[in-house]
Amino acid sequence: MTNGLLQGRFGFIFGVAHKSSLASAIARSLDQAGMRIALAYQSDRQLRNVEQLVGTLSQDDVPLVQCDVSDDAQIEKAFAVVGEAFGGRLDALVHSIAFANREDLSGGFWETSRQGYLLSQDISAYSLTALTREALPLFDESGGGSVMTLTYLGGERVIRNYNLMGVSKAALEMSVRYLAADLGSRNVRVNAISAGPVKTLSARGVAGFTGILDTMREQAPLRRNIEPSEVGSTAVFLASDLSSGITGEVIHVDAGYHILGN
């Protein structure tokens, strides 16, 4: 049971685009563990989904902040708003953001356009660094903090039709390590959760996704697909003192699939 584990702590979550998203699962788990959370959304189109998530949480005073992570001014403003709401403190930052043009997730990787490559790297990888930088003064007020991001096995191995997103996830995972090395002296831990495939809105953009789910269920050591709540529970662990000695890691929550040679 995690009830009360994060009582008195504050978290800021980026990437709640839909009720089925992993960011939503993380938000529910952190809320159940007692953490006060703020949610960032990209555009008015996503606001309704974020509001629906808030309706399922135990807290009714959740700050909702619009933020396009490709705009440094919006990032700065978002953390100013959350800092004011949370008394200048922050204990956890959740980065669950990734994007690539649909045409860059099919065909050959060699066909990736320069514009598409730069866009995906900016949104999917660099944004972690940009958000962490703005979070640092708030972490300092809390005496440290936990940064976590979401990645996938396609950042380590070639996954059919993952293409550019796999390259962006590889950059994201290396960013985790460099940030962890830089920020450890400030008691800021930086880790990634490598989640197995889950039926989310973004996953539908990967051709043959149903086949990926079937393969994992048949071959993973646990012989099943994961549940979003398992990713949420891992986020609670990373946000808590239970993981105080862990930083720079990619923690696989994929029913063990990553250990296989196939």
Question: What is the tens place of the pLDDT at every residue in 164-211?
Answer: 999 999 999 999 999 999 999 999 999 999 999 887 655 555 556 677
With a pLDDT cut of 90, the percent of the chain lying above it is: 82
- Residue 65, CB half-sphere, CA atoms under 13 Å: how many? 25
117 in catalytic set = no
The total domain count for the chain is 1
pLDDT of amino acid 262: 67
126 in catalytic set = no
Catalytic annotation, pick one of 41, 162, 178, 257: 162
Is the Cβ–Cβ distance between 253 and 231 less than 8 Å?
yes
pLDDT of amino acid 105: 87
pLDDT of amino acid 106: 82
**Domain with 230 in it:** 10-257
pLDDT of amino acid 160: 86
Is the Cβ–Cβ distance between 193 and 146 less than 8 Å?
no
Q: Which pLDDT tens digit goes with each residue over 126-143?
A: 999 999 999 999 999 999
56 in a domain, yes or no? yes
1 in a domain, yes or no? no
Distance CA 12, CA 166 (A): 25
User: Which is higher by pLDDT, 248 or 103?
Assistant: 248
Which of 39-48, 193-202, 209-218 ranks highest by mean pLDDT?
39-48
Among 80-94, 104-118, 169-183, 239-253, which is the least confidently predicted range? 104-118
16 in a domain, yes or no? yes
17 in a domain, yes or no? yes
Catalytic annotation, pick one of 41, 126, 152, 257: 152
Distance CA 231, CA 122 (A): 24
Backbone angles phi, psi at 187, to 5 degrees: 60, 35
220 in a domain, yes or no? yes
Is the Cβ–Cβ distance between 254 and 231 less than 8 Å?
no
Distance CA 200, CA 40 (A): 18
For residue 75, give every residue at least 6 positions away whose Cβ sits within 8 Å of its Cβ, in sequence order, or none: 67, 69, 130, 131, 134
CATH number at residue 238: 3.40.50.720
Distance CA 196, CA 219 (A): 12
Beta-strand runs (E) in 34-140: 36-41, 64-66, 92-95
Q: Measured in whole angstroms, how far is the alpha carbon of residue 161 from the centre of its chain?
A: 21
For residue 107, give every residue at least 6 positions away whose Cβ sits within 8 Å of its Cβ, in sequence order, or none: 163
Average pLDDT over every residue of 217-225: 93
Residue 236's pLDDT band (boundaries 50, 70, 90)? Answer: very high
55 in a domain, yes or no? yes
Average pLDDT over every residue of 223-232: 95
> Which of helix, strand or coil describes residue 34?
coil
5 in a domain, yes or no? no
3 in a domain, yes or no? no
pLDDT of amino acid 69: 97
